[in-house]
Amino acid sequence: MRKWLLGVIVVVAALFGAGIAYAAIPGPDGVIHGCYSTGLGSGALYVIDSEEECPTGYAALNWDQTAPAGVAGYEVVTFSDSTSQAQAHTVSTQVACPAGKVALGGGVNGPIAMTSRPLLDVNNLATGWYGQVQEQEWTSSNPIHIQVWAICATAGD
């Protein structure tokens, strides 16, 4: 009787282990699948097997556990300007990334930075950086200085 009970336990354990292997997280493609509540203020999030679907009231959220390939050709591109030809105490300028590179970030430096944003092309790729500054106490004899920079790189595969 004891051997029979031990045999049943071994078989149940093997089936349970096979079930765990089948429902492995992340999935075989390296993607972790989850569901998050679309209800206001809930914030509920849970991980599911790659074969499951999210229940009503939840939306799918998938993410890859592999690291990004990285970047190549990292460089910071800057442009500085001083002008006494400002309109309404403001001056703006932009800097472009070299051909084949995208802006990963950027910034602006000047008296009071008003705008700092990426330059987007028709495909919504950041190809450079735009900046605008304002000088509160501007006079034509006191030029406004601005510096805009973009952190550019070639995205890796």
Q: Where is the domain boundary, 66, 93, 123?
A: 66
CATH number at residue 113: 2.60.40
Query: How much is the pLDDT for 95?
Result: 93
State pLDDT tens for residues 12-44. 444 444 444 345 667 777 788 888 777 766 667
Query: How much is the pLDDT for 109?
Result: 83
Mean pLDDT, the chain, as a whole number?
74
Query: How much is the pLDDT for 129?
Result: 92
Q: Where is the domain boundary, 9, 43, 66?
A: 66
Query: How much is the pLDDT for 17?
Result: 44
On whether the CB atoms of residues 94 and 129 are closer than 8 A, the answer is yes
Of 129, 108, 109, give the one whose Cα is nearest residue 118: 129
β-sheet bridge partners, residue 133: 91, 113
State pLDDT tens for residues 122-136. 888 899 999 888 877
Residue-range definition of the domain harbouring residue 94? 71-155
Q: Are both 43 and 92 inside the same structural domain?
A: no
Residue 42 lies in a domain: yes
Strand ranges inside 12-111, DSSP E? 31-37, 45-48, 58-64, 71-83, 90-96, 102-109
Query: How much is the pLDDT for 88?
Result: 57
Residue 140 lies in a domain: yes
Higher pLDDT, 18 or 67: 67
Q: Are both 61 and 76 inside the same structural domain?
A: no
Average pLDDT, integer, range 51-79: 78
